[in-house]
Chains A and B, each alone.
Chain A
Amino acid sequence: QLQLQESGPGLVKPSETLSLTCTVSGGFISSTSYYWGWIRQPPGKGLEWIGSIYYSGSTYYNPSLKSRVTISADTSKNHFSLKLSSLTAADTAVYYCATSPAAGIATGTFDPWGQGALVTVSS
């Protein structure tokens, strides 16, 4: 079955850019069956969808973050990536990658998720 694993730096300075990668196993990001997404959760708080990408390269971003977010995919490495720029302390969070079906009633429902990567924004 599909498994996802986030990787990237755990500490980033304010005003810099966060870069995370999600490596997929048990399936291919070139599949037409899935969207590949990012969700974050500040410590002790709720969940916020950041954005998703489809195999075609089409991207969908949360308007609240759109000006700072780039999601891309590398089919040769079977991974997709998140870049979030102009970081502040408010961007400190656990960042999860997850997948959702591309069609049907479950589109936009996330399963499975990666284990999460804590990113702290601090100088």
Chain B
Amino acid sequence: DIQMTQSPSSLSASVGDRVTVTCRASQSISNYLSWYQQKPGRAPKLLIYSASTLQSRVPSRFSASGSGTDFTLTITSLQPEDFASYYCQQSYTAPWTFGQGTKVEIK
């Protein structure tokens, strides 16, 4: 299985901050990488697929990049509704696998 490792596991930030989350795959996954946002008690929501393509109706303050094994999710100007957990997921080879998550908390 392809292992997905996110860093950091959690971070504290303020409204308006720029936040970056990193995801590393245990082998090359080309650009078969998605990012999800999950708020407490809610299902994950797809933010980005194909490493950098923004899902429809996702605010443009979210962006992502990367290819191969290293990927990043960036939130420019963090908003109150962005405090949540974020997961990366590879869809290069089954079994599809997720990172362990990064919790973005209010400083």
- A residues sitting closer than 8 Å to B (CB atoms) are 46-49, 60, 62-64, 96, 98, 100, 105-116
- A46-B43 in contact given A105-B32, A107-B91, A111-B55 (Cβ < 8 Å): no
Q: Mark B63-107, 1 if CB is under 8 A from A, else 0.
A: 000000000000000000000000101011011111111000000
Q: Which residue of A lies closest to B55 (CB)?
A: A111
Number of interface residues of B (CB under 8 A): 26
Q: B40 → chain A, closest Cβ, in Å?
A: 11
Partner of A49, one of B32, B50, B97: B97
- A115-B96 in contact given A105-B50, A108-B32, A109-B49 (Cβ < 8 Å): no
- A46-B49 in contact given A108-B91, A111-B55, A115-B43 (Cβ < 8 Å): no
Q: Which residue of A lies closest to B35 (CB)?
A: A109
Q: B93 → chain A, closest Cβ, in Å?
A: 9
Dominant SS at the A interface?
Answer: loop
Q: A50 → chain B, closest Cβ, in Å?
A: 9
The listed residue with most A CB atoms (<10 A of its CB), out of B91, B94, B95, B100, is: B95
